[in-house]
Amino acid sequence: MEHTTGLDELLAGYVAGTLAEPARVLVSAHLELTDRNRPYVRQLETLGGLELEQTKPVALTNRDARLAAIFGLGVTPVRAPQPEESFDPRLPASLRRMMGRSSLEGLAWRGLMPGVKEYRMGEIDGCSASLLWIRAGRAVPSHTHDGTELTLVLQGGFADADGHYVRGDIAIADDHIDHKPIADRDEDCICFAVTEGHLRLTGPVGRLFQPFMRM
């Protein structure tokens, strides 16, 4: 289950190329994991192409200098996957490329609280990107956000007051939402999260952990 309006806006931003890089990767990974929104994205791409065809061309200033700069950048070759190289099926290809690794094995997970750990990828393009691992049946304390939080489920699922999310689903939260995600009881939940701003714990238990959370 997903927030339809917010998700439509997110997909439109993906097609328009206006998303921050971690958000772009998150949407790309979502489209890899499920075909639910691929037709909608194709429609947006078609509409964008038609609008571009109807737009009058604009002459470039300093055309020769720009071309020289582009060709002077060079291209770094990308290592092709070797036949014996195995990929973690939980990681979509777009996320593997962003992380520069093919598996969750060996990641430097950091415990946030009992039953919840995080692997931080750092600040990228103005957003915080991380993986969250929530033990089956465990809950993340009630919290809200100073900005927008996008969460893509990679394994298992979780539920909050807005619905139930499983592999491939995107949950969208902002400063108007105070929620308490609870992982499904039958499997650990692993998510890719992209946030703008800070997370603020709101419940009595959460406030005890707030000093140890990212600020």
Q: In terms of DSSP bridges, do strands 149-155 and 143-145 run parallel, antiparallel, or are they unpaired?
A: unpaired
Tokens in use for 193? 């999260």
Q: Supply angle C-alpha 25, 29, 30, rounded to 5.
A: 120
Q: Which amino acid is at 56?
A: K
Which residues form the domain of 18? 1-215
What does the alpha-carbon distance between residue 181 and residue 199 come to, in Å, rounded to a whole number? 13
pTM score, whole prediction: 0.77
Domain count, the chain: 1
Q: At what angle do helices 38-53 and 4-16 cross, to 10 degrees?
A: 40
Contacts of 44 (CB under 8 A, 6+ apart): 11, 12, 15
Cβ distance 173 to 145 under 8 Å? yes
pLDDT at 12 over 60: yes
Give the position of tokens 């750990």.
117
What digits encode the pLDDT tens for the residues 67-106? 566 566 544 444 444 444 578 999 999 999 999 999 999 9
- Bridge-partner residues for 130, per DSSP? 120, 193
The DSSP call for residue 178 is: -
What digits encode the pLDDT tens for the residues 169-215? 999 988 777 778 899 999 999 999 999 877 667 765 544 544 444 43
Give the position of tokens 């992380």.
99
What digits encode the pLDDT tens for the residues 125-177? 999 999 999 999 998 887 676 778 899 999 999 998 888 999 999 999 887 77
Tokens in use for 134? 């929530």
pLDDT at 55 over 70: no
What are the strands of the beta sheet with 170-173, ordered from one edge? 110-113, 116-124, 127-134, 189-195, 149-155, 170-173
> In this structure, what CATH number is given to the domain that contains residue 51?
2.60.120.10
